[in-house]
Structures are given as C-alpha cells and as structure tokens.
Structure 1
C-alpha cells in the first residue's frame, strides 16, 4: 500500500476499513501530503552512525560494562546425521551476507560509530561429548549453554556473536548461537535459522544455495533513520509521547513477596502457561466482534489483572514492536525493535468491551507513533 500510494498508510486505516471495498475507497480519498522517503544504499566511506535503537544499547553498555544483560542466547537441537563441514560453510555465508554479523562499535570525538569489518572466517567451535553417558551428556550441555549465555560481549572488539556445536551422539547435536542485542533481535532469529537451513540443505546436496540478494544492509537503514527523523516526524512523535505520558505513575505498586531492592538486579524468571484451545477460540471470536487484534484483547486482560492486584487506575505496560515497517528491512539481520508504552486509564468501572475499546485506541495511536526511540 505504501508503494502504491507513494506515502504512509496509517494502520488505523486498515482497522476502520476492514474490507477491500472500503479500503479502496479510503485509499482513493487518502491525500498524501508527503511521500515517505525510501531507504537507499549509502557509502561505506567515513563514519557510519548508530541507529536510535543501537544508541540505546551503546549507552547502556557504557553505563554497565561487562554485562550479559543484552545477550540473546539461542539453541537448536539437531536430529539425524549432521555434516559439520556443510554446517560451518553455511555459517560463513551468513557472516559474509549480513554486515551486522561483522560489525563492532567505537566512538570518534564523543560520537558512537559502527565499524563494518571485511569478511574473515569465524570458525565454528565444536565440542564432542559423545563419550559421556547420556545423563551426564545432557547435564554438561546445559552447563555449557549456561556459561555461553552468561558470557558478556565487548562491543568495541567483537565479534558480537558466538557459535558452538555440541555433539551429543552420531545422530544428535545442539547448536548454540549467541548474539549481542545491538546487532540482533527476535525477528533476526527467524531469518538466521531460515537461511542457515536453506544454505545447509543446498550444500549437503551439492547444490548452489539460492537466497534473494540483499539490496540494503543495516547501516543503510541507520543512516536513513537519522535523516528521516530530523524532519517533522521527530517533532510530531515527540509531541504525542510527551502528552501521552504526562503525569504517568513512575512505579506499579504490586503486592510482592519481597521488597523492591535499592538497585535493580535484573534477576528474573519466565512463567509459561498454555491457554486451552476452547478459551483461545472464544478470545479470537471476541477480538473479531470488537474489531481488535488478539494482542489487544490479551493486553486488556493483562492490564485488568494489574489493576486488580495494584488498585491503581493508571496502568502502563511496555511492549516491544518489531520496527520493520519497510519491506526492505524484513530480510535483514539487525536490531530494529522499539518499546512502546501502552497506557490505559481504568477509571469509571468500564465493562470489558469498553476497556477493550480504550486499549485498541491506545494501541493504534502508539503504532502510528512507534518510530520515536
């Protein structure tokens, strides 16, 4: 739609015109005052700036050096015979293909810059545990994964990703890959796994891999974002968030089983639940009836829960957003995400449907102003 009308189409337009007929009418009357500037390749000569997202993490790394807080450790369990040479070759192609995997960060005259290094082979580390008994092997794999996850990265020296292949048996292996968040995000994990699989399958069968050419790299996006946000976009988005977050509660007073420490430790855990299929179907139905997404419906339920526990009527929830609003960025490994503050006023004893309408409006507004770091 952006390409067709040569400008921005607010996501609200899709919600308010949920059929092709209505959407066609809306687009026909949508007068674009400014066309969205497209992302173009830039010269690699001179200093390359960080994106706003990267600058956040650069600042935090300077504030808390030698921290593993922004590591993204992942693991794949591989079943069947593994051709280690083909797996390593696939990894090398990815390092060549995505500049983010060859980037480190420095500063020049007080300004942070990203440095893209020429490709050099980064050999796959292989650990062979096949001689160990099965239970010891699994325990050792978990131990090694834990050590890897907790080992910090040095942003200025790099590399900012590490890989380890643990051989458990002739028919099973675990592939650990760990990246610093400044070059990687959750979406990037999907790209990494998808391309590793495509490359490996090609090399194993003696074929040339076929991956679509990348017309842009992350640094091109970072330069574009800086220029784009210099214009009216920054003024408009900053004004929206200043108004939206005025007089916000600094803390959510939840009843907890221990006092809040003076210094945040970042020690936490994840609790996972599975909703029954019948409940999920009902939630989906309610979402459709109210013209909302399932995310909006679950967010309204979550904010209700926080309201019940805290008694506070002003509930703010931080939610990550992918930040890949341009088609050219969808296939890049890099750090695009932003965090949106979704603030809902719970006063007036609204029904759940009324509350969902508030949450939907809040979310749509936030999506329309999601570019401000």
Structure 2
C-alpha cells in the first residue's frame, strides 16, 4: 500500500461517534493532537525505523485515513496508498543541548509539525527522532487526535517496538491480522437496527439527563479556559493491592468501575442529592458486550458518556461498586448510544460537559509515565471542567487532575482530590 506518489483516494465512510464529536466540538482548524514519546534501543537504525513505520501504515488503515467535507458534512476516507516520503522519520541531533533546551526544542517542533496536519490531505501523523547521546535516542510520534485515541497509541507503541527490533535484527515478523477502521464502521452499522435504535432512544430519553448545576460556576469550557493540573500518587504498597485483588474482591467486570466508585462518593459529599453524574471516558470499541475484536484497532473511537448513579454515603464499597457496575451494564451499545441518539434526533443534552462537569479517564497500566500525552497550545480548548486521569505505572497509582481555572475554584478541586484519595485508601483497606 506504500507508493512513491501522493495519497490515492478511496471510498468514503461516515464519521464514527468520536470523530463526529471532535469535528463538532472544536472550532476550525480542529486543533487536538496527541504524542507518544519513548526511548529507543541503541544504536539507532533509521532504516529500521522507516521500515517499521511503513509496516504500520500498511497494516492499519487508520493511519491512511483523511477527511473530506461536503456542504458542511464531513466523511472519512481511507487511502489505498501513501508515499514513503510523507512518512519518513526526521532525525534531530540534540547531543549538545541541556535537558531544558532539548525539551523546549522538542515541544516547539512537535507543535509546529502538528499544525501542518491537513485533514483533507494527510497523512495525519509524523515521526521525529531526537538523538541525545550515543546511548540514547527518543522517538516522538505525533498524531491528529481524529485518527488515534489512547488505546490506538498503545497499539502503535507496542507494534513499533516489536517491528523495529525485528527489522534491526532481521527476524521474522509474526503479528496477528489487524482489524481495521473500515471493519469497525461496518460492525457499528450492523448494530444499529431499528430495534436497537429504539432501545437507545428510550434509555437516554428516560434517563432525565439534567445538568448538575451545583458544581458549574461559569459557562461551558472553551478556548478562553486556563488549564491547571495537580498530581498525587498512591504508592505501590497500596496500589498493588488494587491491581491484584480489586476486581476479584468486589466482583467487578472492570477495574475502571472500582476506581471511579470513590469519585462518585467524593462528589456526593459536594452536592445536595443522591443522584450523581460523572462523565466516563470509554474506549468505544466493544460494540457488542463480549466482542473485543477492535481493542487493538488503530483509530479514534474513545467516547465521553455521562453515567448517573444513586449514591448513598452510608453504603459500603461493595454496594457502591455494585451499583456502578449495574449502571454501566444498562447503557445500550456500551456507551456509543449516547452519541448515536444525539446524532439522530438531537433531543438530549450534549456533549457530556452539559450534564457532568467532571470526567473520569482510566488509562490502565502505562509502561512509561504518561507515555501518551495531549499536545497543548496557547489556544487549546478544554473539553470538560475537571478531568481525572488515572493510571498505573511501576505498580503505583497516578492521579492527575486537570481543571479549568476560569470556571472551577482550586479549593473545590483540592477537596475532590483529598476526598477521592481518602476514599481510595478506605477502599484499599477492605482488600
């Protein structure tokens, strides 16, 4: 699928819910970028890097996707071919720079290259190499968020390292066939029959989605926001118990449900009623409950879904987690239905920040601390008032809370942080 020409056009596909949200939430030029940054095994082999990138592009149609606009309506278009020159890595020498100089240069270059991305022309990713010394080289993957989400970045990271090693050592490549962005769209289309659409509509119409005004101080987040991040870490001695025993002890299907339960409880202490809504960042990949065939697909499928639970502060953790589990299981199409119902009749509050001022984003286990990060710029729009990023790294549990200082006071964020951490420790003490 690689050629020496420019991108060759192919048939179009509709936008998936995550892409539709992005193109409708952000103003032009739709600036929302991601990066993967990690060290590479030395000595560096640029030809092996090139071959690994080419293999990834051939393997994953998400990396060959561009977008076309017709009378204000966007569609995605998977390209059959892409030129080798367009995806060649760029090598920068940073051996003489201090750490501060290197980070400044790296971040400025990253933003400059991201701002060259053109949705209609592509490609929508770039790879930079920074040689720091004879023993260290950093690899920086840059993406427009419309073609990748967190899980896609993890897939690219794992497969790139495997492929790079294989090409460098002339080893045989053995990878299972990849599921494609195109297959995902066909599967989603097949799931949207009339009966399913009726069930989705009834669920969200009857959900009585009302904004929780107790925590919203100003207008919705936008480009006038000023973001700030505070961080806290649960040490490995405590966090490892959650990793090893959390799901089994609380009979939970997902550790996400265990980790978000203390936040529901913390938020209950801030409001005057038992009905608590938290927006959940979900991967949007298991269209059918037991179908995980798209978990490693490269694309942007992540969705933001408001999930409402009734929280009794006197309940124990088993009861609270059980209630959270039940509520998640009731949502049609594993959360994709929220975006779909809005797209069909636009009769429910949308997007999620109009209902829930807080979003919870569980990112699993990261091989490097914040391996995947958003690339922010001076005009960066926030997409919610407060977002909890939670992930494990080296057995510790890391919590990063990003919030909009123009709408949310730091005293509130500090209370939520302190109560969330207190609740986590209390939950862990039950293990």
* Normalised-by-shorter TM-score class: 0.7 to 0.9
What displacement does 1:106 show?
0.7
Identify the residue that residue 205 of structure 2 maps to in structure 1. 242
Match of 1:226 among 172, 177, 189: 189
* Equivalent pairs, count: 320
The separation in 1 between residues aligned to 2:313 and 2:75, in whole angstroms, is 50
- Asked whether 1:273 is paired with 2:232, we answer yes
Preserved CA contact (<8 Å) 2:151 2:296: no
What displacement does 1:289 show?
4.2
Q: Structure 2 vs 1, CA of residues 354 and 221 (structure 1 numbering), >3 Å: closer, same or farther?
A: closer
- Asked whether 1:158 is paired with 2:113, we answer no
The separation in 2 between residues aligned to 1:263 and 1:368, in whole angstroms, is 28
Preserved CA contact (<8 Å) 2:10 2:77: no
Identify the residue that residue 60 of structure 2 maps to in structure 1. 98
- Asked whether 1:331 is paired with 2:303, we answer no
Preserved CA contact (<8 Å) 1:237 1:369: no
What displacement does 1:141 show?
4.5
The separation in 1 between residues aligned to 2:99 and 2:240, in whole angstroms, is 40
Q: Structure 2 vs 1, CA of residues 228 and 111 (structure 1 numbering), >3 Å: closer, same or farther?
A: farther
Unaligned runs of 5+ in 1: 1-43
The separation in 2 between residues aligned to 1:45 and 1:147, in whole angstroms, is 29
- TM-score under structure 1 normalisation? 0.75
Q: Structure 2 vs 1, CA of residues 298 and 170 (structure 1 numbering), >3 Å: closer, same or farther?
A: same
Match of 2:251 among 291, 306, 311: 291
Identify the residue that residue 168 of structure 2 maps to in structure 1. 204
- Asked whether 1:193 is paired with 2:153, we answer no
The separation in 2 between residues aligned to 1:116 and 1:59, in whole angstroms, is 21
Preserved CA contact (<8 Å) 1:51 1:222: yes
SS of structure 1 residue aligned to 2:111: helix
Q: Structure 2 vs 1, CA of residues 116 and 67 (structure 1 numbering), >3 Å: closer, same or farther?
A: closer
Q: Structure 2 vs 1, CA of residues 252 and 168 (structure 1 numbering), >3 Å: closer, same or farther?
A: farther
Q: Structure 2 vs 1, CA of residues 312 and 279 (structure 1 numbering), >3 Å: closer, same or farther?
A: farther
- Asked whether 1:174 is paired with 2:138, we answer yes
Q: Structure 2 vs 1, CA of residues 112 and 60 (structure 1 numbering), >3 Å: closer, same or farther?
A: same
Identify the residue that residue 345 of structure 1 maps to in structure 2. 310
The separation in 2 between residues aligned to 1:314 and 1:327, in whole angstroms, is 31
What displacement does 1:116 show?
2.0
SS of structure 2 residue aligned to 1:331: coil
Instruction: Give per-residue Cα distances to partners, 1:9-50, cap 9 Å, x unaligned.
Output: xxxxxxxxxxxxxxxxxxxxxxxxxxxxxxxxxxx9643222
Q: Structure 2 vs 1, CA of residues 262 and 291 (structure 1 numbering), >3 Å: closer, same or farther?
A: closer
What displacement does 1:146 show?
5.9
Preserved CA contact (<8 Å) 1:297 1:356: yes
The separation in 2 between residues aligned to 1:213 and 1:298, in whole angstroms, is 33
Preserved CA contact (<8 Å) 2:19 2:146: yes
SS of structure 2 residue aligned to 1:271: strand
- TM-score under structure 2 normalisation? 0.65
The separation in 1 between residues aligned to 2:248 and 2:174, in whole angstroms, is 39
The separation in 2 between residues aligned to 1:210 and 1:91, in whole angstroms, is 16
What displacement does 1:309 show?
3.1
Query: Considering only aligned residues, what root-mean-square deviation do their CA atoms show, in Å?
Result: 3.0
- Asked whether 1:89 is paired with 2:89, we answer no
Match of 1:52 among 17, 27, 34: 17
Preserved CA contact (<8 Å) 1:188 1:334: yes
What displacement does 1:213 show?
3.0
What displacement does 1:364 show?
2.4
Match of 1:357 among 303, 309, 322: 322
Instruction: Give per-residue Cα distances to partners, 1:283-331, cap 9 Å, x unaligned.
Output: 5757544423543233221111122234453321111222222343233
Q: Structure 2 vs 1, CA of residues 196 and 288 (structure 1 numbering), >3 Å: closer, same or farther?
A: closer
